[in-house]
Every structure is written in C-alpha cells, then in structure tokens.
Amino acid sequence: RLPVPKLEDTIRRYLNAQKPLLKDDQFRKTEELAHHFEKGIGKELHEQLVAQDNQNKHTSYITGPWFDMYLKAREPVVLNFNPFMSFNPDPKSEYNDQLLRATNMTVSALRFMKTFRAGYLEPEVFHLNPEKSDTEIFKKIIRFVPSSLSWFGAYMVNAYPLDMSQYFRLFNSTRLPKLNRDELYTDEKAKHLLVLRNGNFYVFDVIDRDGNMLKPSEIQAHLKYILSDNSPAPAFPLGYLSAENRDTWALLRKNLLDNGNEEALQKVDSAVFCLSLDDFPIKDFVHLSHTMLHGDGANRWYDKSFNLIITKDGTAGINFEHSWGDGVAVLRFQNEVFKDSTKAPALSPQSQPASVDSSRAVQKLDFKLNDALKAGITKAKQKFDASVEALSLNMIQFNEGGKDLLKQKKVSPDAVAQLAFQMAFLRQYNQTVATYESCSTAAFKHGRTETIRPASIHTKKCSEAFVRELSKHSTEELQKLIVECSKYHGRLTKEAAMGQGFDRHLFGLRYLALSKGIALPDFYQDQAYAQLNHNIISTSTLMSPAVELGGFGPVVSDGFGVGYQVHDDWIGCNVSSYPARNGKEYLQCIYKSLEDIFNVLKGKKISS
C-alpha cells in the first residue's frame, strides 16, 4: 500500500524545496507557517487522513483526490493534459506503409487487449536485480505461489510487482464532459473500432459475436476502404468539440444528445480505441511533435483513453487522455504493440486485403447539427487554432555523451539532465524557479505519481558556480558540486518512488480540509505555496525501445514543458512553450550547460 508519509518528514521536505526559491525573509515567514501548520490544524488533518486511509485498504489515499484533480479541471484536455509518445519506425522500412502499419498495429493492440482480459498478460515488474528475478526459473516458481503471498516472494529477490489497476481503462473507454466534474466511461461489451480520417468518423467491428478477432486481412480491407473514401471533410468537424473548455463542451454535448445523436456518440464513446489516419507525411521532429501533441483538431477525439495516430508515411504515435492513467500503463501497451507488430506482424507487404464487402461492414457516422452546434464547433475551432498558434515546440540532440560516460564518472544521468535544466534557466532568466519531475509510484496499490523537486540548494549553488562565478572555481571543485547534486537528486528520486515525497501528502491534506468544509489553513494561502505549485519547468522522461520521442504542453502559460531522454551516448530534449518564454533560447542554454557539465566531468577547463 502507498504509505502516508510522517507529517514532520513532509514539512522538512517541503521547506527543503522552498529554500532555493525564496529570499531569507520570505523563507522565514514560510517556515513559521509550516511549523504552525505541523503543530496545529495540519496535525489534525494528518490524523484524519491516516484514519481514513486505514479504513480504505482496497485503495490508496491519493486515488480519490487525484481523479478529482483531473476530472474537475475545466481547461481543454489537449495541450493542457494529454501527452504524446511517438513510436520508432518499423526497422523493416517496407512495413512503414500507412495501411499496412495501421492494420498490423490495430491487430497487435487487439491481441494485447485479449491477452490482458484473459488474465494472461505478464505482470509488470520492476527488477532491481534482474539476474536473479527476471529469469524463467523464478517465473515458474512464483506462478505456483498464491497471489496473496507471491508479491512477498518477489520482494525477497528485489523484484517489485507494479500496480496494473489502470490497464482496463485503455480500451472501450472515454472521458465524458459533465458540468463541474467529468466522468470516465468504459463499455467492455463494445466490439467496434473508431477510425478518424479527414475529420470523418467511421466504425466497424473488430471482434465477432464469439469474442474472436476479425481476420487481419478483413481489418486491412476495411481500413483500405476508409483510406480510399473520397468524401469531403465535414464543414463542421465534430473533433474540435473534444478540444473545448470542459463546461462548454458538456453543454454542447447535451445539445448533441437532444438533437438525435445519441447512437452515434455512443459508438464514439464505447469504441475499443480511436485510430486517427492523417493524410500527410511527417517533415521533421518538430512537425512530428505538433502532429502527435495536437494535430489539426478535426481528426482526433481527445477524450478517448488514447488515439493511435498513423500518418501518410506510416509514422505512428499515441496521444492519451491523462485522468484515467499514467505513462507506465500506456508505455507497457506501446512496448507490446511495437514488439508484436514488428517481430510478429499479422500481415506483410505482399498480403492482399480480404475480398469482403466493406461498404456494408463500415459505417460512416452522421451527426445531426443545429445552428447552435455549428456555432459551437466554429468557436471551438477558433479557440483551438489560437492555442496551437501560440505554442512553440523546439528540440535538440546533444551528441557529446550520455548515460555511459555519466555512469563511468559515477553520477546519475537523470541528475545531470535536471542540473542542466536548472543551469540553463539561471543563464537565461537569472533565477531559480519551481520545477516538477514526475515519478511513478506504481510499486504501490493504486499508486499514481509523486513529484521529484529537482531545484535544490545544491543545484542552485552548482548552477551559480558555472554561470556566475566560473573564475572562482577549479575544475575539481566544479566536479565536487556536480557529484553533490547527483547524490541529493538520487535521494529525492528514491524517496519519491517509495511514496516519500511531500507534494501528494500536502495535496491530500488540502483536499481533506476542503471536503470537510474546514477553512483553508494559512499554510496553503502562503504566496510561497502557490509559487511552488506554479511549475514553470515541468519535466518528464521515459526510455523505451519502442518510443522515439515524447512530449507535452507547458503546465502554466509562462512555463516550459520539457520531455527528455538520456540514451547511452546522446541526450534528446524537446521543449514546449508559449510566447511568455523563449523555448529555442532555453534549449541553447541547456545545450551549453550539458557541454559544460560533460567537459568538467572529463576534467577539461571551461569558459563562460
């Protein structure tokens, strides 16, 4: 179970995170409020939270508040919440044909779904000592241990089973807009796939009456039929509505239902997943990021648990709705789909589509729109276009080293990347700001994520040495500062992964106070608390053989969204920003910072 941290630990960790962001007098005030909270109302709330947690052993203390946080948010899901992860191309280039890849990936996704629902999917396990635990012998033994004890057997060999409670929402699921709080909806009985092309909506069954998958050649025939349909794009593409403010969208959805679209919407909501087929090839990585993060708005349904997007040249990616689950579940799905569709593809370039009557099997959905709905779609499109227009996406590849060299120098690769983000911001804007790094807590029942706070007194001291006081420090001193940052970051990461951060705990206590109608404690009304939760640098990393690139929008209008990957011998980084910040310049500063850090670690002298 996800532990509720001790209140004194949380307050100490919170103050450690505040220290680099505040001037001395501000920090003293925040410290006073924090200790006052710890001895008074905070203590009472903490005791209530622990008692509540003990009464709800089937779940975790963060589950309810976290679902609420996402589902009560009224901002559009696109750009604000939905991230993307793009697939690597198929190593066999002739398999990157749009129709072939769409068919093979759809078949692999359905194989994954059927394996999961039959209870045959291998559990997700984090192996700290893979030589011992990631072996056939261990799997054979553990298979015969009853599940109430098997996790303990895994612990004994340092293998940590991860929570898989989110996985069922991957399929037949959607987020429904409702006033004030959205709802998650799943209908596992539905057997059809939703396909979007040119803003038009199509459905066809991919599972038959007996629960068997349609033949791959038939799926191919139906997708070919959709790709060759030359119906014009709709004058009022419905997809834009899923990019609207949630309350606006909830009212428009009610209008849609009242206007005779109940059956068509039911088909959209209950579909196994949404396959979006785009009619253009990808030009470069920036174009790829724009396509997968938001696309044109007409050819996506952002509320579906995920959209599998495949462009004209067979480039594939996933855009997923974030309230139902986190990157861990989606990444497992992507890894399996990539592996299966490349190693055991259902069809080859020589395969012929089945000779079936697709015009009978494929249904094109028709939506009845009144003037209010047409006006709503027009307005949604204007707002979507304006948001996308304001968004910048930029990226760099740093080729002067990566994980191998850093491990050789005994520093954490993640710590070095995060240090570079701090150093770069100091160089560009001359300050240290609230920074967020996401860390999975899936090692616990119904765990979600915890925050690592990468901006510390250590990164601040080190960044200032590199940016402002280079002449005062020898290379050895700079190396020491990097090592110190690495150690501290390693500790924060370990704490967060073990459910010992402070962000979720404080969030849970605040949620409890509000739900009990208690006046919001002064601690939460502190300007410094708001500032710490206004995450100007929001970061997330993932490594996978299936994924080429991942990214997301800034979480605040004056922020950066930083997606990064530390490979064996290079580092990739992509940054999203709005006009309040210059992402291109920030990336140049990141590059310079990485260069400086690597040179210092190699024992070279650097210049400012």
Residues with Cβ within 8 Å of 23's Cβ and at least 6 positions away in sequence, in order, are none
Contact 553, 319 (CB under 8 A): no
322 in catalytic set: yes
- d(C-alpha 130, C-alpha 154), whole Å: 11
Q: How crowded is residue 517: how many other Cβ atoms within 10 Å of its Cβ?
A: 6
Alpha-carbon distances of 167 from 305, 328, 374, 458, 527, rounded to whole Å: 11, 10, 36, 38, 38
**Count of CB atoms situated within 10 Å of the CB of 173:** 24
d(CA 190, CA 270) in angstroms, rounded, equals: 6
- Contacts of 301 by beta carbon, 8 Å cutoff, 6+ apart: 174, 194, 196, 239, 242, 268, 274, 276, 307
Catalytic pick from 222, 290, 322, 505?
322
Of 43, 45, 47, 17, the residue nearest 30 (C-alpha): 17
Structure tokens at 180: 């004030």
The one-character DSSP state at 19 is G
Distance CA 174, CA 192 (A): 14
Report the 10 Å Cβ neighbour count for 383: 17
CA 565 – CA 570 distance, rounded (Å):
9
DSSP 40-52: THHHHHHHHHHHH
The rounded distance, in Å, linking the Cα atoms of 355 and 163 is 43
* Helices 583-601 + 475-497 axis angle, to 10: 110
Distance CA 323, CA 449 (A): 12
The catalytic residue positions are 322
